[in-house]
Amino acid sequence: MSVLDTDEPLPEDDEFGSGPESRPIEDDSKPSPRDYLSEAEVTLQTLYYPGARMDLGPFEIFAGSAKLTRVIYADYGIDESSAGSLIKSIARWKCTSFQKLNPANFGVDSWDAFWPDDPASLRHRQPANAFGCTAHLSNELGHEVEFTYFGTEGHQTLEVLIRCRLKPSTIVLQDHGFGLGWARFGGDSLMYRLARDLRALPRFLLIAAKTRTWPGYHQVTNLVRMPNGYQSALFKLDL
Instruction: Check which CATH number belongs to the domain holding 110 and give it.
Output: 3.40.50
- Kindly state whether residue 122 falls inside one of the protein's structural domains: yes
- Kindly state whether residue 78 falls inside one of the protein's structural domains: yes
pLDDT in tens, 55-84: 999 998 888 776 789 999 999 999 999 999
- Kindly state whether residue 2 falls inside one of the protein's structural domains: no
- Kindly state whether residue 154 falls inside one of the protein's structural domains: yes
Note down the domain range covering 174: 13-237
- Kindly state whether residue 152 falls inside one of the protein's structural domains: yes
Tell whether the torsion through CA atoms of 110, 98, 71 and 174 is positive or negative: negative
Number of domains present in the structure of the chain: 1
pLDDT in tens, 170-204: 999 998 755 455 788 999 999 999 999 999 999 99
- Kindly state whether residue 220 falls inside one of the protein's structural domains: yes
- Kindly state whether residue 3 falls inside one of the protein's structural domains: no
- Kindly state whether residue 215 falls inside one of the protein's structural domains: yes
Give this prediction's pTM.
0.90
